[in-house]
Amino acid sequence: MAKKKTPVGAAILAESAHTGVDEAQNFGDRLARYGQAHARSLMMLEHLRETPSPASTKTAASLASCGNYLHFREYFTVGKVRLHNATFCKQHLVCPL
């Protein structure tokens, strides 16, 4: 019969924890990524406005307000910053946000 292993203690698990994307120290990099994605969505918006069609007009209307509002909440007791609320167009094939 195989010997059972004892579970790892909480202190050892906390030492090996890695920093995630919602850590407060990574917030500047995260904002930069959102800014680059918003710039790419504005470039796509200009492209859609250059070639008007009924489908592109509808897509451009929702893409125009995409990413204009991002609301973050900081949980300072655990050192995390999370996206709480935002406006997205939900058009994953057109918009990088």
The range of the structural domain enclosing residue 45 comes to: 21-86
The mean pLDDT of the chain is 81
Note the pLDDT tens digit of each residue in 59-84: 888 888 888 888 999 888 888 888 89
Distance, in Å, from the CA atom of 47 to the CA atom of 70, rounded to the nearest integer, reads 24
Amino acid letter, 41: S
Is 72 part of a structural domain of the chain? Answer: yes
Domain count, the chain: 1
Amino acid letter, 73: R
What pLDDT was estimated at residue 18? Answer: 55
Torsion region of 9: left, alpha or beta (phi above 0 gives left; psi -120 to 50 gives alpha): beta
Is 70 part of a structural domain of the chain? Answer: yes
Q: What is this structure's pTM?
A: 0.68
Is 5 part of a structural domain of the chain? Answer: no
Share of the chain above pLDDT 70, in %: 82
Is 63 part of a structural domain of the chain? Answer: yes
1 pLDDT above the threshold of 80: no
What pLDDT was estimated at residue 50? Answer: 87
Is 96 part of a structural domain of the chain? Answer: no
Distance, in Å, from the CA atom of 80 to the CA atom of 96, rounded to the nearest integer, reads 24
